[in-house]
Structure 1
Amino acid sequence: MQLLRDILDKQVVDREQVKIGKVDGLVAELRQGKPPRVIAVELGSIALARRLGTRLGRWTTRLAKRLSGKRQARPHRIAWNKVRDVGVDIEFDIDVRRTKILAWQHWLRDHVVDRIPGA
Structure 2
Amino acid sequence: MDVIRDVLDNQLVDRNQRKMGKVDGIVIEYEDGKQPRLAYIEVGLVTLARRIHPRLSALLTIIESKWGAKHSEPFRIPWSKVRDVGIDVDVDIDAEDTSALAWEKWVRKQIISRIPGA
TM-score (norm 2): 0.92
Shift of 1:40: 0.6
Q: Deviation per CA, 1:59-83: give whole Å up to 9, x if none.
A: 11111222225x4121111111101
Report the counterpart of residue 46 of structure 2 in structure 1: 46
Report the counterpart of residue 102 of structure 2 in structure 1: 103
Report the counterpart of residue 85 of structure 1 in structure 2: 84
Amino acid at match of 1:61: T
Report the counterpart of residue 116 of structure 2 in structure 1: 117
Amino acid at match of 1:28: I
Report the counterpart of residue 57 of structure 2 in structure 1: 57
Q: Deviation per CA, 1:40-60: give whole Å up to 9, x if none.
A: 111111110000011101111
RMSD of the alignment, in Å?
1.3
Shift of 1:27: 1.0
Which structure 2 residue ranges, 5 or more long, are not aligned? none
Which structure 1 residue ranges, 5 or more long, are not aligned? none
Q: Contact between 2:9 and 2:23, CA under 8 Å: does it hold in 1?
A: yes
Report the counterpart of residue 17 of structure 2 in structure 1: 17
Secondary structure of the corresponding residue to residue 30 of structure 2: strand
How far, CA to CA, are the matches of 1:7 and 1:68 in structure 2? 31
How far, CA to CA, are the matches of 1:19 and 1:61 in structure 2? 24
Which of structure 1's runs of 4+ aligned residues deviate more than 4 A?
Answer: none
Secondary structure of the corresponding residue to residue 63 of structure 1: helix
How far, CA to CA, are the matches of 1:48 and 1:13 in structure 2? 18
Secondary structure of the corresponding residue to residue 35 of structure 2: strand
Secondary structure of the corresponding residue to residue 15 of structure 1: coil
* Percent of paired sites with the same residue: 47
Q: Contact between 2:71 and 2:99, CA under 8 Å: does it hold in 1?
A: no
